[in-house]
A and B are shown apart, each in its own frame.
Chain A
């Protein structure tokens, strides 16, 4: 089994073509999904006339600041966990040194990276937040009532790249090469899953937030 995985073609595949596939599907799928929602909104005829860029930006700013909105203030723990989770989720893949080295090897571009110690802590925070969400799905009654199998699935899809990356960096549990291959597979899986599952809330958030923000602005009311 180890000999099979140590075969360089597996690594070469996940390091090269799989990354291409993942990004093409991710970018193409995202464009398709966003376009689909925009077209659906246009078909409705009562959505576009009320949309406003100013109130969209106001709403995005309002909800991107922890404890700015009433609901964030009502749930301080969830607010902190949600923000830390998403900050780690978005920033780590982009500003991690290991990822940067690979990109430099392929494309000869590099940028500022997060110090390794901080990256380690951020990864542990993301993993901890995943556990928090998991426990919340089981123990909070109002969440449990509306939780189905695919909720656990998308949580797992987001969790696996981080746990495998963490283990690969520390070279724990499995031989490094295997862990790295798994990490790349999970990472690609997550990218591919984003447009086609509810992980796509990443894309739709900006559109739905725009709608509600414009709605509030049109009625001369604050964004809650």
Chain B
């Protein structure tokens, strides 16, 4: 199943998954799976499925999906891989959720790694499939539930999990301290003032019309975005500000990995700042 160069000495019983894939090593999967057992997996799966049983959005697709596969054409993974049927949205649900339900969570760690790879690396939850489904079934929601199972087990790509840890600790994506953030604002303001006179990046201006929230990457590695935003806001004459307090970062990695707790805290941080500064509109970079 794996291509040359990747160790594959664990037999997976599910050989109906004849996937043609080039596997890439990721410690988030490879290392984590060493600590997993079937008992842990079963517990995590059943915990999430029990919640799912009480959720209409979860049950409705399971009982309504007629397996028509009309969602395939929506999925850019499916289309760009030469219409490989194993990339279709319904196929992804089959290989992950239906199997977990059928086996009541009693699956091997290797299988769970396969599941994590499918939901994190072969789907980006863009929801086109949900929009193309004639029934309006939320297929992306179901794959999101599987992501939650993987998150609870720690089976998440290393990079995203790192960034979620950062958000959990600092409400910023890349471990940016408040001092660094304010410093960067002031530095970019200076830079832009070299080009356009009297440009200001107001920090913590109470009562402004707009509060702008960048992604955490911007002050860290892409400061020119901040400069450009400052230029646009000033030329357009918008009464804007940025928040000095943590909760200025709109990147929500918690949402992507279905870490609901961190996801809520990031959103709340932004709204808290908006309420504190009595803002009328929140504008996000993305």
- Given the known inter-chain contacts A37-B59, A41-B57, A146-B67, please indicate yes or no for A212 contacting B73, CB distance below 8 A: no
Would you call A71 and B54 a contact (CB within 8 A)? no
Would you call B64 and A204 a contact (CB within 8 A)? yes
**Does A200 have its Cβ within 8 Å of any Cβ on chain B?**
yes
Would you call A40 and B64 a contact (CB within 8 A)? no
What is the size category of the interface that chain B forms with chain A? 35 or more
Inter-chain CA distance A43–B61, complex, in Å, is: 17
Q: Which residues of B contact A213 (CB under 8 A)?
A: 136
Would you call B55 and A43 a contact (CB within 8 A)? yes
- Given the known inter-chain contacts A141-B85, A144-B85, please indicate yes or no for A204 contacting B63, CB distance below 8 A: yes
A38, A59, A70 interface centre (most CB from chain B within 10 Å):
A70
Would you call B131 and A201 a contact (CB within 8 A)? no
Q: Which of B57, B61, B73, B94 contacts A71 (CB 8 A)?
A: B73
**Does B276 have its Cβ within 8 Å of any Cβ on chain A?**
no
Inter-chain CA distance A108–B271, complex, in Å, is: 65
Would you call A142 and B83 a contact (CB within 8 A)? yes
Which A186-224 residues have a C-beta within 8 angstroms of B? 198, 200-201, 204-205, 207-213, 216, 224
Min Cβ gap B266→A in Å is 17
Q: Which of A72, A151, A200, A216 contacts B64 (CB 8 A)?
A: A200
Min Cβ gap B284→A in Å is 15
Residue of A nearest to B64 (CB): A204
Would you call B85 and A145 a contact (CB within 8 A)? yes
Inter-chain CA distance A212–B137, complex, in Å, is: 7
Q: Which of B63, B68, B86 contacts A143 (CB 8 A)?
A: B68
Min Cβ gap A150→B in Å is 9
Q: Which residues of A contact B67 (CB under 8 A)?
A: 143, 146-148, 151
Q: Which of B72, B131, B136 contacts A208 (CB 8 A)?
A: B136
Q: Which residues of A contact B73 (CB under 8 A)?
A: 71, 74-75
Interface string of A75-104 (1 = CB under 8 A from B): 100100010000000000000000000000
**Does B107 have its Cβ within 8 Å of any Cβ on chain A?**
no
Would you call B56 and A41 a contact (CB within 8 A)? yes
Inter-chain CA distance A37–B136, complex, in Å, is: 15
- Given the known inter-chain contacts A40-B59, A44-B54, please indicate yes or no for A142 contacting B88, CB distance below 8 A: yes
Would you call B56 and A142 a contact (CB within 8 A)? no
Min Cβ gap B147→A in Å is 17
Q: Which residues of B contact A212 (CB under 8 A)?
A: 130-131, 133, 136-138
Which B39-82 residues have a C-beta within 8 angstroms of A? 54-57, 59-61, 63-70, 72-74, 78
Would you call B134 and A63 a contact (CB within 8 A)? yes
Q: Which of A59, A75, A143 contacts B136 (CB 8 A)?
A: A59
Would you call B54 and A208 a contact (CB within 8 A)? no
Inter-chain CA distance A78–B130, complex, in Å, is: 18
**Does B91 have its Cβ within 8 Å of any Cβ on chain A?**
yes
**Does B187 have its Cβ within 8 Å of any Cβ on chain A?**
no
Interface string of B116-142 (1 = CB under 8 A from A): 000000000000001111111110000
Q: Which residues of B contact A224 (CB under 8 A)?
A: 131-132
Would you call A208 and B60 a contact (CB within 8 A)? yes
Inter-chain CA distance A70–B86, complex, in Å, is: 23
Would you call A145 and B132 a contact (CB within 8 A)? no
**Does B90 have its Cβ within 8 Å of any Cβ on chain A?**
yes
Inter-chain CA distance A145–B98, complex, in Å, is: 13
Min Cβ gap A209→B in Å is 4
**Does A118 have its Cβ within 8 Å of any Cβ on chain B?**
no
Q: Which of B56, B69, B72, B134 contacts A47 (CB 8 A)?
A: B56
Which A46-80 residues have a C-beta within 8 angstroms of B? 47, 59, 63, 69-72, 74-75, 78
Min Cβ gap B56→A in Å is 3
Q: List 24 A-B contacts (CB under 8 A).
A: A37-B56, A40-B55, A41-B57, A42-B56, A43-B54, A47-B56, A69-B134, A71-B70, A75-B70, A140-B69, A141-B83, A141-B85, A142-B72, A142-B83, A143-B68, A143-B69, A144-B85, A146-B69, A146-B88, A146-B94, A207-B60, A209-B136, A211-B57, A213-B136
Known pairs A44-B54, A142-B85 / 15 extra A-B pairs, C-beta < 8 Å? A37-B56, A37-B59, A40-B59, A43-B56, A44-B57, A75-B70, A142-B69, A142-B91, A143-B69, A145-B94, A148-B67, A208-B135, A211-B57, A212-B130, A212-B131
Query: Which B residues form the contact surface with A (CB < 8 A)?
Result: 54-57, 59-61, 63-70, 72-74, 78, 83, 85-86, 88, 90-91, 94, 130-138
Give the 4 A-B residue pairs with the shortest CB-CB distance, closest first.
A212-B136, A41-B56, A40-B56, A224-B131
Query: Which A residues form the contact surface with B (CB < 8 A)?
Result: 37-38, 40-44, 47, 59, 63, 69-72, 74-75, 78, 82, 140-148, 151, 198, 200-201, 204-205, 207-213, 216, 224
